[in-house]
């Protein structure tokens, strides 16, 4: 019963914040709405006994990603309307139709059976989920863990390449 009450409260907060994020005119309010949604989803993860995911949700999304968003908002300027360009006619209506359509399609498709009978999920050991996650991360998923190294390298390289505003000096000797 207690769980249900917590779920109802935070599911409501998540929905209201998400809707507020989309509807808010001021980008800072949007950012705060996003923050609220992310925190409430972290609480929902705790309810599902996924403590590690909940912690990651708070650290990565509410921490790092939100900071990034706020930096971007500060760089563009809170009141800078021109930065967004002219609105496309009927954009809101089109967005609403597409989102509601996709949502309806998934709900209709999943109405009868969400999980179609797989036995791949074992029963998770609830004591020490962090140890279990690290076992998986550095055991089964080592290759994935290592290949994200390439992604991070590319992020750094791409930033250096794109942030360079000087004039490129052609290298005549390099021409083959």
Contact predicate 28/76, CB 8 Å: no
Q: With binding defined as CB under 8 A, does residue 158 bind another protein?
A: yes
Q: Work out the angle at residue 104's Cα, subtended by the Cα atoms of residues 113 and 44, and round it to the nearest 5 degrees.
A: 70
Burial 131-154 (b: 16+ CB within 10 A, else e): eebeeeeeeeeeeeeeeeeeeeee
Out of 3, 79, 82, 172, the residue judged to bind another protein by CB under 8 A? 172
Which window, 2-10, 53-61, 84-92, 117-125, contacts another protein (CB under 8 A)?
A: 117-125
Would you count residue 171 as binding another protein (CB under 8 A)? Answer: yes
First CA to last CA distance, the chain: 74
Q: Which of 109, 126, 130, 137 binds another protein (CB under 8 A)?
A: 109
Which spans of this chain sit near another protein (rule: CB under 8 A)? 105-106, 108-121, 139-144, 147-148, 150-151, 153-155, 157-158, 160-162, 164-176
């Amino acid at each position: 019963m207690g769980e249900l009450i917590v779920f109802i409260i935070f599911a409501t907060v998540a929905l209201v914040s998400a809707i507020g994020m989309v509807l808010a005119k001021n980008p800072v309010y949007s950012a705060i709405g996003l923050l609220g949604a992310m925190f409430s989803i972290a609480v929902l993860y705790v309810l599902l006994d996924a403590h590690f995911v909940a912690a990651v949700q708070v650290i990565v999304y509410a921490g790092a990603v939100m900071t990034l968003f706020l930096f971007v908002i500060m760089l563009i300027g809170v009141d800078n309307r021109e930065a967004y360009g002219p609105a496309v006619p009927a954009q809101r209506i089109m967005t609403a139709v597409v989102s509601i359509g996709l949502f309806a399609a998934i709900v209709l498709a999943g109405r009868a059976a969400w999980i179609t009978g797989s036995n791949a999920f074992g029963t998770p050991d609830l004591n020490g989920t962090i140890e279990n996650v690290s076992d998986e991360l550095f055991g089964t998923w080592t290759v994935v863990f290592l290949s994200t190294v390439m992604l991070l390298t590319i992020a750094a390289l791409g930033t250096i390449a794109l942030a360079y505003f000087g004039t490129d000096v052609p290298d005549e000797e390099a021409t083959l």
